[in-house]
Structure 1
Amino acid sequence: MDMYSLIILLCLLMIGLQFWRLRGIAESTISFAQRYCQKEGLQYISLARVKTRMSVKRGKPDWHIIYQLEFSSDGETNYTGSITTHGRKVMKVELPVYRLAPDAN
């Protein structure tokens, strides 16, 4: 195996590892969003990745990802918020003002 083949192999390995890392971050963010919605009394609808870039936070290079969170507060109206992560750490959750579900009394 010559040096060129070794470099190509290492590049492919790094791409595969980063893809695997992004999937792991996405799965943990979906889990966080579902727990967050349950805790706040919201109905979780979906989570989609909007923006992905590599950044350095406190000296640690990792993926900075912004997700679009769709949820409902009353089962009829959809709202869109965002979740920002750096690696697996959730940095910020932003939700718009939403209508509260009426009491079932």
Structure 2
Amino acid sequence: MLNLTDLILGLLVCGIAAVFWQLRQISEIAEFHVKRVCQKRRLQWVSTARVQARLGFIPGQGLGWNTRYQCEFSTDGINRLHAIVVLSGKKLKDVEMPLYPEPEWQQAPESKGRIGGCGGGGGASSCSPRSGGCSSGCK
């Protein structure tokens, strides 16, 4: 027989699972937005972690989660910088990024060779410092 304690316990477990599922879905949306911002600004995404989640009223949506995420990104592959991403429900509300130096790899030549362009061993390229760089046109 099902008594009141079993019913309350079952509802409690279902409620916890629903909250976990909602927060996990919002975390995936936040990570998507962070990766898109990093790609747009030519940054290397490192990680995303939820810092805060509060249940509250969201204008136009009703009851929902207001969440903040701390994100790490890199401009050079060595240093890590932190940003804050704020979501209201499942919508991006704000991205707070610090000032950061422009990524140095934007000025680097793009490889166009069969295996990797300059020094790739896949053709007649010469990348000696005396010749002034790559002679096979991999700029």
TM-score normalised by the chain length of structure 1: 0.90
Residue identity opposite 1:76 in structure 2: I
**2:109 aligned with 1:89, yes or no?**
no
Aligned CA-pair RMSD: 1.4
- Give the match's secondary structure for 1:97: coil
Over the matched positions of the two proteins, sequence identity in percent amounts to: 34
Give the distance between the partners of 1:26 and 1:94, measured in 2 at CA.
17
Give the distance between the partners of 1:5 and 1:77, measured in 2 at CA.
52
Higher relative contact order (CA 8 A, sep 6+): 1
**Larger helix percent:** 1
TM-score normalised by the chain length of structure 2: 0.70
1:98 aligns to what? 100
Give the distance between the partners of 1:30 and 1:101, measured in 2 at CA.
21
2:74 aligns to what? 72
**Total equivalences in the alignment:** 105
State how 1:1-105 maps to structure 2 within 5 Å. 1-58=2-59, 60-102=62-104, 103-104=107-108
Structure 1: where are the runs of 5+ without partners?
none
- Contact 2:43 2:103 (8 Å CA) reproduced: no
- Contact 2:70 2:84 (8 Å CA) reproduced: yes
Give the distance between the partners of 2:38 and 2:103, measured in 1 at CA.
14
Give the distance between the partners of 1:91 and 1:38, measured in 2 at CA.
19
Residue identity opposite 2:100 in structure 1: Y
- Cα offset for 1:95? 0.1
- Give the match's secondary structure for 1:70: strand
Residue identity opposite 1:39 in structure 2: K
- Contact 1:80 1:96 (8 Å CA) reproduced: yes
**Larger strand percent:** 1
- The superposition leaves residues 31-62 of structure 1 with CA deviations (integer Å, 9 ceiling, x where unpaired) of 22111100111110110111111111116111
- The superposition leaves residues 57-79 of structure 1 with CA deviations (integer Å, 9 ceiling, x where unpaired) of 11611111110010012223211
> Which runs of structure 1 show a deviation greater than 4 angstroms over 4 or more consecutive aligned residues?
none
